[in-house]
Amino acid sequence: MATTVLLIRHAAHGVVDQLLCGRMPGIHLGEAGRRQAEALAARLGGAGLRAIHASPLPRAWATALPIASRHGLRPMASEELIEIDFGAWTGRSFAALGDDPHWRRWNAARAAERPPGGETMQEAGQRAFAFLQRAAAEHPDGVIAAVSHGDVIKAVIARVLGVSVDTHARFEISPASLSRIRLWPDGAKLLSMNELPDE
């Protein structure tokens, strides 16, 4: 009784490579991101989704809507899929963070290091994976989708593979990418990773 889970990173927004947006409000998909979301929805049109869950942040919700529409579904907001809480780093530019020794330590040891006032990547992966296990149990032998954020998806995949989140820089999860896992009551495996809509 295994469930296929489609892990979808939200599509691109205008500052995706400039700011550590985290949970800051007002970050919406740009024109390129809306095109990515539509292309992803078209690609998944025949996926036979039984449910679609999404981080409540606008960029994830806007990515989920066209996918849900193709399947006659309504996306369900799931706080467990929300972006990592980056605390005091939220909204800072990557250029500014590059000089922060704490930022460099966090990127080298994400299993243990914590953003100031935030959560570890390990904690984010635990909450998201536990949620996906519950959601999968509701749809045995079905297909569900979860629209989340790059580092959260990386943390889930690391958990599936049994590796530390400290390996996060060794694989890519691009905007609007699709990764597939299979979950069953006592196990999980990775089926594919970082598929893009135009592939």
> Domains along the chain?
3-195 (3.40.50.1240)
- Under 8 Å between Cβ of 78 and 148: no
Residue 199 has pLDDT above 50, yes or no: no
Which ranges of 109-172 would DSSP assign to H, the alpha helix? Answer: 121-137, 150-161
> What pTM was estimated for this model as a whole?
0.96
Q: Using the Cα atoms of residue 166, residue 86, residue 90 and residue 31 in order, give the sign of their dihedral.
A: positive
Distance CA 68, CA 44 (A): 10
What's residue 16's pLDDT? 83
What's residue 14's pLDDT? 87
Residue 97 has pLDDT above 80, yes or no: yes
